[in-house]
Structure 1
Amino acid sequence: MLNLKVAFFATTSNMDSGASWSLLRMIINLHKNGITPIVFLQKHGNIEEKLNAYNIKYYVIPEYCYDTWIRNIGENINIKYKCKQLVKKYINFVSYLKIKKIVKEEKVNLIHLNGLPTFLGAKVAKNSNIKLVWHIREFMGDDLGLEFVNNQEAKNLISESNAIVVVSNAVGRSFNNFVKNPNKIHVVYNGLEVEKYYKKRKIFSDSNSMTISIIGRLVPQKGQLDLLKAVKYLKDNVKKNTTINIIGASTSYLNVLKKYSKENSLNVNFINYTSHIETYMQKSDVICVCSKKEAFGRVTIEGMLSGACVVGSRSGGTPELIDDSINGYLYGPNNLKELSNILEHIYTNQLEAQRVAEKGQLFAKNNFTDKKNAQNILSLYKKIM
């Protein structure tokens, strides 16, 4: 058993993102294997309830990544922006000193960053001669619309990691030419709490109706509007029997989706994000993953485990999870007519869809457990220590 004290740096403090759930399950299982975890949060949030429930020690220290480390592509760099940036840099410097002091007092052996929207931990690791693992769960530009404020600084800092964990081969390829030593990149797929999502069942309990769910942040990159447009293309007899659940935390984009649904007489339920997302998945016939470019596709695996038939875009990490027409269905990126045809095929070939869903469930159950994920991370720790 490897006895290490590891400081984990979270990128978000709420449990409404796949990154938070993946981090939590990873920490819980690493803890069972001898790792003593300490978590650094950038601000207060409901992840604290989970950490307290598992007696995991944590600190809340502000870290302003936006505008100092990363920013929105096309950001308007004006005087107001630069003034805010200076204030954030000062706060970050104070936070860096606090983190460095805590890391020394806690006798931390290794620092593990849970994504690209955090960087102070990397600077502490560099200046304290502590091993660093950087977990990359995003493409940046293609999925989040983000870029580094200083590309060269980011390249240098990330490249100094002892190991770089990516959540899919697709993410790994996107950073091969960015980091100085691509041999540091290791693919470790996310792990899930299988028993939370798993349900052995039959889809299409009512053969005359189809329930489709799409889960994720309500932003254009997640493709909710694409799904609505694809359903609009369905034959009238299929469309009128189709219900769509759009599940995600409310944003201004919600109004765009509601307007389109109303104008096209689509049967849509808008459901705010819930930590018990599995209850909706287990009542869905189809789960659609319409993201422009999903780094891993946690919802893909959740959907498979729930017993639904999963349909995803042939982009990002999704094709690594879905074997077309075997354990799910793939459609070409932005090819809404193909997506519509697949949905219609599922509705009219329900026995085939059931077989595909069952194979997807078995595939997810066998390959994406949180225990397996933790063992892979633990092996990596042993390799670099």
Structure 2
Amino acid sequence: MKIAFITSEYPHPKISHAAGIGTSIKNLAITLKKKGIGVSVFVYHQNEDAVFCYEGVEIHLIKKKRYKLFTWYFYRKHIQNYVNEVVAKNHIDVLEAPDWTGITAFMKFKVPLVIRFHGSDAYFCKLENRQQKVKNFFFEKLALKSASAYIAPTTFAGEETRKIFGVHNDKIRTIHYGLQLESFVNEFPEVYNRNTILYIGTIIRKKGVFELAKIFNKIVEENPESKLILIGGDAPDIKTGNTSTYKLMAQEFSETAKTNVDYLGKIPYSQVKEHIKKAHVCVFPSFAETLGMVTIESMALQKPVVNTSIGWAQELIDDGINGYLVHPANIELYAQRVLELLNDELLCEKIGREARKKVEKTFDINKIADINIAYYNSILK
């Protein structure tokens, strides 16, 4: 079998952008290759056209193009034509694409198309309770309509997407993202920087960063030694139009808390793991995710995580056993849970051990890849 992924991101120095979606695709692609599956990745909106192999995966960069009129249509047709040529040449059996922006709208392929619900604009708009542009909804709905099958990283994401677009439930399969567990080993979980709280993710409203600032204000009142480290790119704020969400977030910190915050910006992925290992507690108070790769990465490294309590997170963490689930709007309780962990080393170690067990049981990429292969085969029958 040969599989190909269409994506706008993938972790590689030549590729301009990579986040959670790209990481999840790479984890799966490499594992599929190890299991004897041929894998290609088409990365669009790039600065150049190029083809190269990386870790056994054939990567095609598709340069972004602009047209005098209807770039949104003609660039899609350009991607379609290029992909179809490679599909025929390499005898690819199945294509997979994300739902975001409905990139495969207006495309017709010679093989079955699977769309994975990494998170559509419509999905995030619903969770954030904001209006979506009609054009974006049209593109995403049209793209979903042309797919043969769908994969959701959590049942919650699948069900919410089904409600939004009217997708048939029997065509949606929940298959979690997976981790290469051998790359996420913490040999000394008892060694970390005491009172260090870590947030990893884009600095953006939907990730609960304003709530995090208020939470940290409460934490510092009780524990003046606590420190908050923020890792992730700064994004414009969709509500105010401000070009920097971090500048707005910084205004929410109390004078005392402000001196205990360290914003590192976007750093190389290879460094992120070291920061997770050094952290005492990891926090992800998001209002909108489909799964959240950094959550399971932190759990794999035996870190106690305080996550959101919204839908998808309930499939990652068993509250009070291998982490905590608290709604981001509940500032008092969220701060209390973090403080409990900062004040109890044995509790941190216990939850960290259980977190690792949960990831080994549920998010092992070797098991996840086998489930994907079986599902792809079922589509081809």
TM-score, structure 2 normalization: 0.84
2:192–2:279 Cα contact (<8 Å) kept: no
1:137 is aligned to 2:109: no
Aligned counterpart, 2:280:
285
Quote the Cα distance in structure 1 between the aligned partners of 2:18 and 2:136: 29
2:217–2:253 Cα contact (<8 Å) kept: no
Quote the Cα distance in structure 2 between the aligned partners of 1:157 and 1:19: 18
SS at match of 1:16: coil
1:63–1:92 Cα contact (<8 Å) kept: no
SS at match of 2:186: coil
1:175 is aligned to 2:161: yes
Aligned counterpart, 2:33:
31
Alignment CA distance shift 1:333-1:231 (3 Å): closer
How far did 1:16 drift?
3.4
1:273 is aligned to 2:267: yes
**RMSD of the alignment, in Å?**
2.9
1:221 is aligned to 2:202: no
Quote the Cα distance in structure 2 between the aligned partners of 1:34 and 1:270: 42
Quote the Cα distance in structure 2 between the aligned partners of 1:283 and 1:37: 35
How far did 1:93 drift?
3.0
Q: What amino acid is aligned across from residue 189 of structure 1 in structure 2?
A: H
1:116 pairs with 100, 106, 115, which one?
100
Quote the Cα distance in structure 2 between the aligned partners of 1:154 and 1:293: 18
Quote the Cα distance in structure 2 between the aligned partners of 1:237 and 1:315: 27
Q: What amino acid is aligned across from residue 280 of structure 2 in structure 1?
A: D
1:210 is aligned to 2:195: yes
SS at match of 2:100: coil
Aligned counterpart, 2:234:
250
How far did 1:122 drift?
7.6
2:316 pairs with 305, 315, 321, which one?
321
SS at match of 1:343: helix
SS at match of 1:60: strand
1:313–1:333 Cα contact (<8 Å) kept: yes
Aligned counterpart, 1:56:
57
SS at match of 2:53: helix
SS at match of 1:201: coil
SS at match of 1:61: strand
| Residue correspondence of structure 1 range 1-385 to structure 2 within 5 A | 4-12=1-9, 13-14=15-16, 16-44=18-46, 52-62=53-63, 86-117=70-101, 119-120=103-104, 123-125=107-109, 128=110, 130-138=111-119, 139-142=123-126, 149=135, 151=137, 154-177=140-163, 178-203=165-190, 209-234=194-219, 236-238=221-223, 240-251=224-235, 252-261=244-253, 263-266=255-258, 267-271=260-264, 272-276=266-270, 277-385=272-380
Quote the Cα distance in structure 2 between the aligned partners of 1:337 and 1:255: 24
Quote the Cα distance in structure 2 between the aligned partners of 1:241 and 1:250: 26
Quote the Cα distance in structure 1 between the aligned partners of 2:225 and 2:318: 28
How far did 1:359 drift?
0.8
- Please identify, of 137-146 and 319-328, the stretch whose mean Cα deviation from structure 2 is larger: 137-146
2:303–2:351 Cα contact (<8 Å) kept: no
Alignment CA distance shift 1:88-1:150 (3 Å): closer
1:116–1:135 Cα contact (<8 Å) kept: no
How far did 1:200 drift?
4.0
SS at match of 2:71: helix
After superposition, give the CA deviation of every residue in 1:174-231 in whole Å (9 maximum; x if it has no partner).
Answer: 022324421000000000121222214345756xx41110101111111223222112
The count of residues paired between Structure 1 and Structure 2 equals 357
- The gaps in structure 2 that reach 5 residues or longer are 10-14, 236-243
Aligned counterpart, 2:12:
none
Quote the Cα distance in structure 2 between the aligned partners of 1:307 and 1:108: 39
1:214–1:224 Cα contact (<8 Å) kept: no
Quote the Cα distance in structure 1 between the aligned partners of 2:93 and 2:347: 51
Alignment CA distance shift 1:52-1:115 (3 Å): farther
Quote the Cα distance in structure 2 between the aligned partners of 1:372 and 1:33: 11
How far did 1:64 drift?
8.0
Percent identity over the alignment is: 20
Q: What amino acid is aligned across from residue 59 of structure 1 in structure 2?
A: H
1:122–1:132 Cα contact (<8 Å) kept: no
Quote the Cα distance in structure 2 between the aligned partners of 1:262 and 1:235: 9
1:322–1:330 Cα contact (<8 Å) kept: yes
Quote the Cα distance in structure 2 between the aligned partners of 1:203 and 1:64: 51
- The gaps in structure 1 that reach 5 residues or longer are 66-82
Quote the Cα distance in structure 1 between the aligned partners of 2:37 and 2:75: 31
SS at match of 1:42: strand
